[in-house]
Amino acid sequence: MSTIEFIGLTKQYKDLKAVDNLTAKVEAGRITGFLGPNGAGKSTSLRCLLGLATASSGEALIEGKPYHQLAEPLKRVGAVLDSQGFNAALTAKQNLLVICAAAGIDDSRVLPLLELVELGHAVNKRTKGYSLGMKQRLALAAALLGDPDILVLDEPANGLDPIGIAWLREFLRNLANQGKTILVSSHQLAELQHTVDDVIIVNHGKLIAAGNAKEIMAGQSLEEAFLRLIGVAA
């Protein structure tokens, strides 16, 4: 049984197939890059995986179950989604305390995690005053609250500056070394080139390639490999 599995996942919006019969697996204990250009269907696939959107057909499973059937889901899966927000009127700490209460997670997790994502200085600041990068770090802290084994991260590098991106790479590496399974999406193919073990590449909702990153790159950069795979000469 795979940690995460997409089985013929299809999501139709009116006359657009945002995700088109996607079948792919994510192996445990590895970092898998979910890659594709803007509008490729990455976020939509992840929203189906996490039960926020209903698939038109097919399914997306976590340890063999749909998300809504997981008992205590935040203790199994942590997620950062591009559409996610925080209550601007609440401080970072309060925002996380709300999630702790809802998920039955001990409040004592909050402060160490805010330190871990380097927001220790802004714990009691209303998130209204947070920069994009700070919100992204806060979202990472939220994903880690339940100490889950699986992380699903949609464009976690969004809004981070180069230092932040370097920090994120290191951060993800550390989590993977602790044995966590990480599915991380990006439209910037180069960004995660050296971070991911495996890749799932999509374009126009369809799977282009999936498997070991090094094998798929075949000595090229991810970008070159992507262009080769979609048939545009690199």
Partner 1 sequence: MNLVKAELRKLFYQRSTYGLILGTIALAILGTAFSPYAMTRIGKGLTMPLSSSDVVDGVYSKSLGGYIFVLIIGVLIMAGEFHHHTAVATFLAQPKRSRVLLAKLGVAAVVGALINVLATWVAIATGAYALSLFKNVAAPHDFIWGNYTAAAAVTGAVLAIVGVAIGTLVRNQNAAVTGSLVWLMVVDRILAVIWTEIGKYLPTGLITAMLNIHLNVKDQGSGLGINTADYLDPVPAALLLLAYGIGFAVLAMFSTLRRDID
Ligand X SMILES: Nc1ncnc2c1ncn2[C@@H]1O[C@H](COP(=O)(O)OP(=O)(O)OP(=O)(O)O)[C@@H](O)[C@H]1O
The residue with tokens 């990472």 is 140
Work out how close the CB of 170 gets to partner 1 at its nearest, in angstroms, rounded to a whole number: 25
Q: Which stretch binds ligand X (CB under 6 A): 11-19, 117-125, 135-143, 211-219?
A: 11-19
CB 33, CB 192: distance < 8 Å: yes
Q: Which residues are within 8 A (CB) of 215 and not within 5 positions of it... i.e. 6 or more apart?
A: none
Task: Give the footprint of Mg ion on residues 26-65 (CB under 5 A).
Answer: 43
- Confirm or reject binding of residue 13 to ligand X (CB under 6 A): yes
The region that residue 161 occupies, defined by phi over 0 for left and psi between -120 and 50 for alpha, beta otherwise, is beta
Count interface residues toward ligand X (CB under 6 A): 13
Which of 16, 57, 64, 85 touches partner 1 by CB under 8 A? 85
Secondary structure letter of residue 109 according to DSSP: G
First to last CA, the chain: 36
How remote is the C-alpha of 61 from its chain's centroid? 15
Residue 82 to residue 152: CA distance in whole angstroms: 11
Q: Does 38 participate in binding ligand X (rule CB under 6 A)? A: yes
Which of 205, 216, 163 is closest to 36 using CA atoms? 205
Position 186 contacts Mg ion (CB under 5 A): no
**In whole angstroms, how close is the CB of 154 to ligand X at the nearest point?**
7
Contacting partner 1 within 124-163 (CB under 8 A): 142
Query: From the CB of 182, what's the least distance to partner 1, in Å?
Result: 17
Positions touching partner 1 (CB under 8 A) are: 47, 50-54, 67-68, 70, 73-74, 79, 81, 83-91, 94-95, 97-99, 101-104, 142
Positions touching ligand X (CB under 6 A) are: 13, 16, 18, 36, 38-44, 82, 187
